[in-house]
Amino acid sequence: MSDIAYYAIHYGVDEKGYIGYNKVNHEVTVVLPAEEWQQKVWEYLHTPQTIEKATGLDTYETVTVDPLASLADLKLALTVMWGRTDVQVDWSRPIEIDDTMYFPE
């Protein structure tokens, strides 16, 4: 198991990239074709996010998470990133780096 969790992301019709989250030092790498979109995601991930977290089938609690504090907080923040940045997470799509496929955790 790698120290880095990868998540495929995209914006627009087919502008693909990824997020790499280091689970040990809690740092993130954002790779997208356009710097302005990369910066949007970077800023989102470095800002505390208030989110409605499901506690049951139809019940929620409001929580504020630091997306980089833990892998669990990152995943929760990624669930609403599209609505806040127009960048979508492709939860089922692996990414390929240096001929190695990485699937989301």
pLDDT at 30: 98
Residue 70 lies in domain: 4-102
Q: Could you report the per-residue pLDDT of 67-82, keeping only the tens digit for each?
A: 999 999 999 999 999 9
Q: In total, how many domains does the chain have?
A: 1
DSSP codes joined into one string, the chain: --SEEEEEEEETTTEEEEEEEETTT--EEEE-SSHHHHHHHHHHHTS-EEEEEESSSS-EEEEEE-TTS-HHHHHHHHTTHHHHHS-EEETT--EEETTEEE---
pLDDT at 2: 85
Q: Per residue in 30-44, is it b (16+ CB within 10 Å) or e — as a string?
A: bebeeeebbebbbeb
pLDDT at 82: 97
In this prediction the pTM is 0.91
Q: Could you report the per-residue pLDDT of 55-66, keeping only the tens digit for each?
A: 999 999 999 999
